[in-house]
Structure 1
């Protein structure tokens, strides 16, 4: 067994079949593919196993999210190298096999490749840590844009790679494609199972990085239909990770807070809470101004502001539990 590929499925059998087709068409390697199902309660198993009977299927029995399902896949895997691969990805030019061949003989303990949008434009695939996770504040509505402008004007180093074209060392790797050596996992531990979705790969990579270097092979790429699976799970109208007004936004916010607590400590966690609270009146003031000048779409913005406020206070209600840092499944559904 050269390596193991782990794919999580939740009600996206068509995406999984498309992903598997690209994998098997692009390699003749002796590989193991494990599909872990998060209790889809549909015809996923039938469709996937009928198309690819060689795939190993494991049923979690409940919607366990990203970390727990991948951990189960890692426990079942026989390869000395494992690839965590999103169901909404498409192997391009045999990138997976080429990545394994290079990574297997390289000094890195974890790696990724350059992710591409459907139109071939690059996605952020590799990232750098900033003290206290301050870069996350740039995703906040309005206040985040102000922080971003200040950071750019001050010459603050970028916290991600817009596009990698060669091998670049990074601090953490996008979980859509994350290849890791088992020897490193044995020392760093599995993903933290308090996370349901989002931020888990960042926290995991912070532990892996203490053992060795991580990289992005920029000359290799796969297509990633960003948010193709989670968008349906949360019934979210948007892809990406910048909308904090709906159920998906609440999950992102809570997972981010949990990550701050685990990776940076209580002080930074409380700091991020304070900035999220501060953003409420700022956000309100700007939407009021837009209403006064009759800006198109402002009615929708009011709904989004209200959704943001509700999510902030829901996230804050978890403060005692997050600070205590005892095992708990932060699934916000």
Structure 2
């Protein structure tokens, strides 16, 4: 079996050289390396020819973007397995062995990626190394085939992506409409899922990633690129929102491992996958979004599409041994009616986990006048539904009126970015009442959501 490794580059020769040196050290399998250079002006093509003559070089006169360069490399590849690799990565001992095993053995695996130090979502792991030498020692201990550390996901970051030629033939090339790059990897994952494949994180292999070294754009240009490509991605897939990351708070708060759980407002199925990873045998999803239903329906036991956000199906789909409301009560026009319908689907004594936006978070309208314009806030709600925030006493009152037993409440914190932390602390000092310490008020201002669980009587 032969592997083709495709690396798009644009300047940054020192970074590319480091990547190629690591590949030479840690890739004993038969392989070819294809570098697609996007018009580098720092001597990258010349250095490649002189120092790495075995590397196949494809040259573009200008920067055509990551997706197009990756496609050029994939078309030139001869391998049975294909790897897309950013040039700002450093592969580690047994990296490819672990990725290949996951691709070959995980159910319906089509795309596989490692964990890393600088990546979003479930691929992110905490690391403590201070140098690349320390990193390699860490990875030597960390890496090793271990299926118990594999996890299914909705989305992989494209910094290091293993795919089979069969999947490539079925799904096709990356979408070059994403220009310089960003969201082409998200798009590819959803296309793979729609084609019947599963997307897996090989949690038993670590690959170092500098993080966004390929994008040396100024902050404003990079933000515009992200906004443009996100809008393109949502339009392409017919999505009004993009919830690809599981909600760990909801999954962790569901006690035990109920055999059959319904996830209301299931999104693309990410939280449902997390529930299954934690031992739930059967997860059903409920959504009002046909685009979400198409993806989640590939991943969960069954997904029920309902026309209205309060119009949950009648009880014939139940009873369930547990329920989570992934979207949060803030996404529903009538939260009380929603909760009542969900309770109807549950067995007596079954747990329900739900969350809601905190009316007292610093990003809420009541505090906006105190803070700098354009303050980034945590994602909230969906288009077409007014954002609904509750105070803790209002949230508890709603749950008590429905008769939930054994109610417990926790908090999810979202502190401000460093640039606006002083302004939020100033707000805390201004709104603190008699006997209230500003530090406690600041902590309250950083409480983004309340999460609660209770049992059906």
TM-score norm. by structure 2 comes to 0.47
Tell whether the 8 Å contact from 2:98 to 2:202 is kept in structure 1 after alignment: no
Secondary structure of the residue aligned to 1:116 is coil
Deviates more, 1:220-229 or 1:281-290: 281-290
Structure 1 pair 169/38, CA: closer, same or farther in 2 (3 Å)? same
CA distance in 1, matches of 2:374, 2:198: 48
In 2 relative to 1, CA 12–268 (structure 1 residues): closer, same or farther, beyond 3 Å?
same
3-state secondary structure, aligned to 1:194: helix
User: What's the CA shift for 1:297?
Assistant: 6.5
Mapped to 2, the partners of 1:172 and 1:191 lie a distance apart of: 15
Aligned 1:83-232 pairs, distance under 5 A = 83-104=83-104, 106=106, 107-117=108-118, 124=121, 126=123, 166-196=149-179, 197-210=181-194, 211-230=196-215, 232=216
* Aligned-CA RMSD value: 3.0
More helix by share: 1
Displacement of 1:46 in angstroms is 1.4
The match for 1:253 is 227
Distance 1:125 1:73, change over 3 A: farther
Task: Compute the displacement of 1:257 (Å).
Answer: 0.7
Distance 1:30 1:59 in 2: 24
Partner deviation per Cα, 1:264-297 (whole Å, 9 max, x = no partner): 25x669xxxxxxxxx9x9978621699xxxxx96
* Contact 2:102/2:150, CA 8 A, preserved across alignment: no
Distance 2:178 2:72 in 1: 14
Contact 1:80 1:182 in 2 (8 A): yes
Counterpart for residue 159 of structure 1: none
1:15-26 pair list within 5 angstroms? 15-26=15-26
SS of 1:286's equivalent in the other structure is coil
TM-superposed deviation, 1:40: 1.3
Partner of 2:339: none
Shift of 1:93: 1.8
- Cα distance between partner residues in 2 of 1:33 and 1:250: 33
> Where do 1:68-87 residues align within 5 Å?
68-87=68-87
Question: Structure 1 pair 249/166, CA: closer, same or farther in 2 (3 Å)?
Answer: same
Describe the superposition over 1:171-220 as per-residue Cα deviations: whole angstroms up to 9, x where unpaired.
11110011111111211121111002101110111011122111001010
Q: C-alpha distance in 1, partners of 2:117/2:6?
A: 20
The SS at the match of 1:173 is: coil
Matched residue SS, 1:74: helix
Aligned to 1:65: 65
CA distance change for structure 1 residues 255 and 283 in 2, over 3 Å: closer, same or farther? farther
Q: Name structure 1 gaps, 5 residues minimum.
A: 128-163, 237-245, 270-278, 291-295, 302-333
Q: Which runs of 5+ in 2 are unaligned?
A: 125-146, 243-362, 376-417, 424-457
In 2, Cα distance between equivalents of 1:289 and 1:200: 27
Listed as ranges, the matches of 1:41-60 within 5 Å are 41-60=41-60
- In structure 2, what is the Cα distance between the partners aligned to 1:167 and 1:202? 19
**Structure holding more strand per residue:** 2
Distance 1:268 1:101, change over 3 A: closer
Q: Which has the higher contact order (CA 8 A, sep 6+)?
A: 1
Change (3 A) 1:50 1:206: same
Contact 2:114–2:203, Cα closer than 8 Å, also in 1: yes
CA distance in 2, matches of 1:97, 1:268: 36
Aligned-pair CA distance for 1:109? 0.9
What residue number does 1:6 align with?
A: 6
1:224–1:297 Cα change, 3 Å: closer
SS of 2:63's equivalent?
Answer: coil
